[in-house]
Amino acid sequence: MSYLIIPEKYKPLMSMQQTEQGIKLIKEFFQQNLSTGLQLRRVTAPLFVLKGMGINDDLNGVERAVTFPIKDLGDAKAEVVHSLAKWKRLTLAEYEVKPGYGIYTDMNAIRADESLGNLHSLYVDQWDWERVITADDRNIDFLKRIVRKIYSAMLRTEYLINETYPQLEPFLAREVFFIHSEELRRLYPDKTPKEREDAICREHGAVFIMGIGGKLGDGKEHDLRAPDYDDWTTPNQDGFMGLNGDLLVWNPILERAMELSSMGIRVDKESMLRQLELCGKQERKELYFHKKLLAGQLPLSIGGGIGQSRLCMLFLQKAHIGEIQASIWPDDMRAECAAAGIQLI
């Protein structure tokens, strides 16, 4: 079901022409800062991959991939990518990238099962990045260091946008607050995971919630994750499980938490086998990607995705992601947005 938030007395602070210029400025500036900060080189990525290779991401395990037959391959099925976590790791191996360096790319996807609203569209565009690490880097302190580098690039981008368009006032918190999803559950035991995100982001402004995917003390996950890309079961030095997380900020227009990035240290052989068993997905061990990982043919890595339209929406202080990207929306949503001054592209 679609879900729409109409901010009270919302008025766009930029014309549609200024908005398009702002989108270009944000995308060019941020990706350059991301590339420099994490030592990444740009690569070209696929829009679709062959079905049955184990390369497409399973996300939380329930989304259906958009598929189509390929005539010249005997009607073999291709899938539009959900994201590129596994493809990037294969590419790191193919390019023989050394530890401390990595790649980034423009990822475009179609997620037909998305619940449409202010933050969710059928069309997903993000910067997907992946960096080679060593075994010594597989710890929570290294993860936090990478998160801070990404957030610093966001702060610099916000400063540029505010200088270019003075009608937009800065609002991002200066620092990221880190908390494990189990700590967050204990802090707000009577709230749902999304309500916890709103509460902690309202208090701290920018939050990285660690350990996404594993079951918490109440027997429930904060959110679901596929078993074969992020490592959400390896214990960290703080006594909690998981080497991954989500970066969220408080959105002052919508007055709610807004996820900008999902990322993490990726599975090694041991954690992937453990997570496949936990999820009852042991049959995946016979797929192309999984065989290469289990054979030690893929490097250890850290990686994630950063929403392009979401970042632009945040910095340009828009109420709906449809003010940033062209997509398909329910007729009643378009009508409600038009009545409230929300200009969907």
Residues identified as active-site? 57, 111, 126, 246, 259, 262
Alpha helices in 100-192 (DSSP H): 140-164, 181-187
**Alpha-helical segments (H) within 139-248:** 140-164, 181-187, 193-204
Beta carbons within 8 Å of 254's beta carbon, 6+ residues apart? 5, 7, 118, 119, 319
CB 289 within 8 A of CB 85: no
- 179 closest CA partner among 187, 170, 171: 187
Sheet bearing 76-80, strands edge to edge = 48-50, 76-80, 67-70
Residue found by looking up tokens 């790319």 in the block: 105
272 and 293 Cβ atoms separated by less than 8 Å: yes
- Assign residue 50 a region: left if phi > 0, alpha if psi is -120 to 50, beta otherwise? beta
Residue 63 CB coordination number (10 Å): 15
Please state, in angstroms and rounded to a whole number, the distance separating the CA atoms of residues 198 and 253: 13
Positive/negative CA dihedral, 241, 245, 251, 256: negative
**Angle at alpha carbon of residue 259, lines to 225 and 124, rounded to 5°:** 75
Closest Cα partner for 305 from 108, 26, 152? 108
Strands 123-132 and 301-307 come out as: antiparallel
Structure tokens at 239: 């006594």
- Distance in angstroms (rounded) separating the CA atoms of residues 48 and 81: 5
